[in-house]
């Protein structure tokens, strides 16, 4: 194995014989740090618009509205079971009754989650310009599989978690954490380019934007 | 149709057959036009597209010119994060590494997320020979696999199949691979996607080993990135206990922040979206979340030969977005299968003969599979000068003596295209339509600025020659 390593490296070095060893060509980064103004109401509006454009369902509200809103979304969906990260703020489920709650832990298997109707999480941050929500298994997010297996994902985004663009987002993210970036629900265009929501990931993504 | 590319006829013969297939041509023409129009709109949203394109090109070039350094840095970072790095000089070695890793788990099945690198090396066939079944989980790849067919487009591999064909493939073949299609399966895309969801979910929930490729690898952090839409990627990358990623050595980027360039360029160029639905990023293994074992197989398989060619090495900048396919008049008529490799279209015409050499007839014919109209260069988000490389490779083929034969055959194929002026005109016009997006000058600061400021990049004309002729000299002159 190590012999192939040496072989490939030797081939690379031979192939680059024309490149001076000390070469240090600058990479120009004249692109824009963002394409939109960065005032908070503006960012939320662009995020909401772009998420909706991907056919995610967007709700706006305050922290105080959250328990009622979550209870309503579960009811509308007819979910009788809900998966949550262990550190989901307890208040979020404050108005939910008669629903089985599966709390994330290493004992919860993909098979268990396959029987769950809805998953509720927070997020690490959201990118307005691209309509993207980033999960990094941090606070109120749980393991990656939590937001993958159930068919309905309710994701809560606080206003102060919204940034304008990818150049704003990447420095805030920790590459050592596993990340899932979500831009709308699962989708495919593989059959005659007809867009269909959902093959494997959640087919319904509902985002709650907290002002 | 057989699942192998071996024994494929050279491009001209293959194209002569595929251009007679009316269904294929109708599907392709609809698909490439649709994607092309959507893409132009998505790109136009970013006023700094030329600058992003220039940065993408420079980052890739810089990385390739110091590839040994970045691969070693990547290896160190992946290892420190709990992964194991393997090096494969060629396809055979990569296949053996993967087969041995799978066998060591005691498993006989793997789930796969769409990966061009594993198609390139024929991994599924190699695993089958070892008694291991590889299940493709991308919807289009599933269609192709069930039909014992081959992909024909980088982004939409089953674009040559329509919904009725897909319904029949599912109804006939799903049962032999696992959960059968529902009795009442219709040809509505939603119904077909649902059948695929049920069929594959069984496999995801029991799979212990997954095989993936990657869109990017980050040298300084050891992070791998997979960009997808359906969630089959997330399933493969997070549910199994063992994850094996086979990735070409050219996919490395120096730093985490470089993603801000490529994750703007790729989705817009590829699916014309601001961002694809799912992007997964992982660095080695994470306790209690995702696979416990992670193996990265770094694949050469002709890439170092490509790197050695000072003109041709720019093909390694390719991020597999497929934009060049969708603007190519030859691809639009001939379809992906005619290129005889997993890399179809303009990029295939320059990448395949470099990866495989030009000894065979099919590979020697590929540099001629083009009208040199330049639309591919204009569309390419990392500014690969495909026409330049095509001409360069034609010289190489000519020098080895096979040139005349390949050229004669290719000219016969081109004659067909040029005999169908409507197709040609539409294709060249589409290229002109995006001209305002092309950078006029390279944005070089510092001492290089003096150089670039006095040199304009070749501009696209405002009209194609044909349009100009029609308007100024042709019959239609007075009419419009
Ligand atoms: S050559 Fe350029 S346009 Fe074609 S697939 Fe590669 S990156 Fe995309």
pLDDT tens-place string over residues B231-264: 999 999 999 999 999 999 999 999 999 999 999 9
Answer whether A199 sits within 8 Å of B231, measured CB to CB: yes
Which tokens belong to B193? 């996607």
pLDDT at A166: 98
Most confident of B335-344, B374-383, B421-430: B374-383
Residue owning tokens 């790197």 = B307
> Percent of chain B at pLDDT above 90?
57
pLDDT at B411: 54
Nearest to B58 among A28, A176, A193 (CB): A28
Is this model's pTM higher than 0.90 or not? Answer: no
Q: From residue B441, how far is each of A182, B60, B451, B452 by CA, in Å?
A: 36, 19, 10, 6
Confidence of residue B215 (pLDDT cuts 50, 70, 90): very high
Alpha-carbon distance B418 to B424, whole Å?
Answer: 7
Confidence of residue B41 (pLDDT cuts 50, 70, 90): confident
Nearest CA in chain A to B298: A5
Alpha-carbon distance A22 to B256, whole Å?
Answer: 23
> Percent of chain A at pLDDT above 90?
87
pLDDT of residue B393 exceeding 70, the answer is yes
pLDDT of residue B447 exceeding 70, the answer is no
Nearest to A27 among B55, B67, B192 (CB): B55
pLDDT at B409: 57
pLDDT at B18: 67
Of A36-50, B344-358, B428-442, the one with minimum mean pLDDT is: B428-442
Residues B343, B348, B352, CA angle at the centre, nearest 5°?
Answer: 90
Nearest to A182 among B221, B257, B277 (CB): B277
pLDDT at B19: 65
Those residues whose C-beta lies under 8 Å from the C-beta of residue A6, and which sit 6 or more positions away, are: none
Looking at CA atoms only, how far is residue B58 from chain A in angstroms?
6
For residues B410 and B461, which has the higher predicted lDDT (pLDDT)?
A: B410
pLDDT of residue B452 exceeding 50, the answer is no
Rounded to the nearest 10 degrees, the angle between the axes of helix B403-418 and helix B386-399 is: 140
Q: Are B265 and B319 in contact (CB under 8 A)?
A: yes
Pairing of strands B278-283, B223-228: antiparallel
The residues pairing with A82 across neighbouring beta strands, listed in sequence order, are A101, A118
User: By C-alpha distance, which of A141, A133, A118, A35 is closest to B277?
Assistant: A133
pLDDT at B4: 40
Confidence of residue B410 (pLDDT cuts 50, 70, 90): low
Looking at CA atoms only, how far is residue A39 from chain B in angstroms?
19
SS (H, E, C) chain A: CHHHHHHHHHHHHHHCCCCCCCCCCCCCCCCCCCCCCCCHHHHHHHHHHHHHHCCCEEEEECHHHHHHHHHHHHHHHCCCEEEECCCCCHHHHCCCCCCEEEECCCCCCHHHHHCCCEEEECCCEEECCCCEEEECCCCCCCCHHHHCCCCEEEEEEEHHHEECCHHHHHHHCCCCCCEEEECCCCEECCCCCCCEECCCCCCEEEEEEEC
> Distance, CA B154 to ligand 1 centroid (Å)?
10
Ligand 1 atom having least distance to the Cα of B376: 3
Answer whether A12 sits within 8 Å of B68, measured CB to CB: yes
Looking at CA atoms only, how far is residue A202 from chain B in angstroms?
8
pLDDT at B8: 53
Pairing of strands A118-121, A152-158: parallel
Which tokens belong to B7? 């024994």
- Ligand 1 pocket (Cβ < 6 Å) reads B 269, 318-324, 347, 379-382, 384
**Rounded to an integer, what is the distance from CA B296 to the centroid of its chain?**
20
For residues A78 and B10, which has the higher predicted lDDT (pLDDT)?
A: A78
- Is B278 strand, coil or helix? strand
Mean pLDDT within A143-150: 96
Q: Whose CA is nearest to atom 2 of ligand 1?
A: B380
> Distance, CA B250 to ligand 1 centroid (Å)?
14
Q: Are B330 and B368 in contact (CB under 8 A)?
A: no
Confidence of residue A15 (pLDDT cuts 50, 70, 90): very high
Answer whether B66 sits within 8 Å of A194, measured CB to CB: no
pLDDT at B451: 33
> Distance, CA B325 to ligand 1 centroid (Å)?
8
Alpha-carbon distance A69 to A81, whole Å?
Answer: 16
Which tokens belong to B139? 């919807």
Confidence of residue B459 (pLDDT cuts 50, 70, 90): very low
pLDDT of residue A172 exceeding 80, the answer is yes
Confidence of residue A195 (pLDDT cuts 50, 70, 90): confident
Alpha-carbon distance B255 to A174, whole Å?
Answer: 13
Q: Are A27 and B59 in contact (CB under 8 A)?
A: yes
- What are the tens digits of pLDDT across the range B114-148? 899 999 999 999 999 999 999 999 888 889 889 88
pLDDT at B450: 36
Answer whether A180 sits within 8 Å of B278, measured CB to CB: yes
Answer whether B62 sits within 8 Å of A11, measured CB to CB: no
Of B49-63, B334-348, B432-446, the one with minimum mean pLDDT is: B432-446
Answer whether A114 sits within 8 Å of B223, measured CB to CB: no
Nearest 5°: phi and psi at A125? -165, 175
- What are the tens digits of pLDDT across the range B154-193? 777 888 888 999 999 999 999 999 999 999 999 998 899 9
Mutate which of B216, B251, B322 for ligand 1? The one with the most ligand atoms within 8 Å of its CB, which is B322
Q: What is the DSSP string of B440-452?
A: SS----THHHHHH
Answer whether B68 sits within 8 Å of A16, measured CB to CB: yes
User: By C-alpha distance, which of A150, A77, A153, A152 is closest to A114?
Assistant: A150
Q: B449-467 in b/e burial notation, b at 16+ Cβ within 10 A?
A: eeeeeeeeeeebeebbeeb
Ligand 1 atom having least distance to the Cα of B321: 8
């Amino acid at each position: 194995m190590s012999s192939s390593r040496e072989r490939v490296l030797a081939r690379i070095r031979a192939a680059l014989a024309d490149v001076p060893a000390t070469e240090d060509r600058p990479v120009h980064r004249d692109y824009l740090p963002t394409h939109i103004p960065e005032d908070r109401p503006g960012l939320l509006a662009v995020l909401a618009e772009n998420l909706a454009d991907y056919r995610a369902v967007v709700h706006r509200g305050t922290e105080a509205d959250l328990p009622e809103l979550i209870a309503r979304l579960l009811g509308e969906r007819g979910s009788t079971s809900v998966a949550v990260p262990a550190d989901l703020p307890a208040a979020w489920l404050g108005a939910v009754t008669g629903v089985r709650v599966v709390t994330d832990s290493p004992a919860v298997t993909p098979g268990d989650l396959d029987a769950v109707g809805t998953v509720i999480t927070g997020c690490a941050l959201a990118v307005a310009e691209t309509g993207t929500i980033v999960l990094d298994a941090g606070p109120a997010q749980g393991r990656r599989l939590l937001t993958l297996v159930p068919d309905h994902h309710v994701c809560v985004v606080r206003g102060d978690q919204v940034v304008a663009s990818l150049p704003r987002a990447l420095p805030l993210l920790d590459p050592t954490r596993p990340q899932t970036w979500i831009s709308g629900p699962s989708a495919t265009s593989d059959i005659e380019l007809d867009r269909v929501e959902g093959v494997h990931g959640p087919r319904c993504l509902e985002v709650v934007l907290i002002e | 149709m057989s699942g192998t590319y071996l024994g494929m006829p050279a491009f001209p013969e293959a194209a002569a057959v595929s251009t007679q297939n009316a269904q294929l041509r109708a599907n392709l023409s609809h698909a490439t036009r649709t994607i092309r129009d959507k893409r132009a709109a998505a790109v136009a949203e970013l006023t700094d597209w030329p600058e992003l394109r220039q940065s993408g090109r420079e980052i890739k070039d810089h990385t390739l010119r110091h590839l040994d350094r970045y691969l070693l840095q990547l290896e160190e970072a992946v290892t420190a994060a709990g992964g194991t790095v393997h090096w494969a000089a060629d396809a055979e070695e990569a296949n053996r590494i993967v087969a041995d890793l799978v066998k060591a788990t005691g498993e006989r099945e793997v789930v796969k997320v769409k990966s061009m690198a594993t198609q390139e090396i024929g991994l599924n066939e190699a695993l089958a020979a070892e008694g291991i079944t590889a299940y493709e989980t991308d919807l289009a790849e599933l269609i192709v696999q069930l039909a014992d067919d081959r992909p024909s487009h980088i982004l939409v591999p089953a674009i040559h199949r329509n919904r009725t064909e897909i319904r029949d493939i599912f109804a006939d073949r799903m049962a032999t691979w696992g959960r059968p299609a529902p009795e009442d399966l219709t040809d509505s895309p939603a119904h077909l996607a649902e059948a695929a969801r049920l069929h594959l979910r069984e496999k995801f929930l029991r799979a212990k080993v997954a095989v993936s490729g990657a869109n990017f690898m980050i040298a300084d952090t050891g992070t791998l990135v997979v960009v997808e839409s359906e969630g089959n990627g997330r399933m493969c990358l997070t549910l199994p206990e063992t994850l094996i990623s086979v990735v070409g050595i050219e996919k490395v980027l120096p730093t985490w922040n470089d993603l801000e360039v490529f994750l703007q360029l790729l989705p817009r160029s590829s699916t014309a979206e601001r961002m694809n639905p799912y992007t997964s990023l992982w660095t080695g293994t994470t306790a209690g979340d995702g696979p416990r074992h992670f193996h990265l197989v770094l694949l050469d398989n002709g890439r170092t030969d490509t790197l050695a060619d000072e003109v041709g090495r720019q093909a390694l900048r390719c991020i597999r977005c497929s934009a060049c396919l969708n603007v190519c008049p030859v691809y639009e008529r001939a379809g992906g299968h005619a290129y005889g490799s997993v890399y179809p279209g303009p990029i295939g015409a320059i990448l395949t003969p470099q990866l495989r050499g030009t000894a065979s007839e099919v590979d020697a014919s590929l540099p001629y599979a083009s009208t040199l109209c330049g639309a591919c260069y204009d569309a390419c988000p990392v500014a690969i000068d495909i026409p330049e490389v095509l001409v360069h490779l034609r010289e190489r083929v000519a020098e080895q003596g096979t040139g005349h034969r390949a050229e004669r055959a290719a000219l016969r194929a081109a004659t067909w295209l040029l005999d169908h002026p409507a197709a040609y005109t539409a294709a060249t016009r589409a290229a002109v339509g995006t001209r305002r997006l092309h950078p006029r000058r390279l944005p070089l600061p510092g001492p290089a600025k003096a150089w670039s400021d006095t040199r304009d990049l070749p501009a696209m004309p405002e009209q194609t020659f044909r349009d100009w002729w029609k308007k100024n000299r042709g019959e239609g002159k007075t009419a419009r």
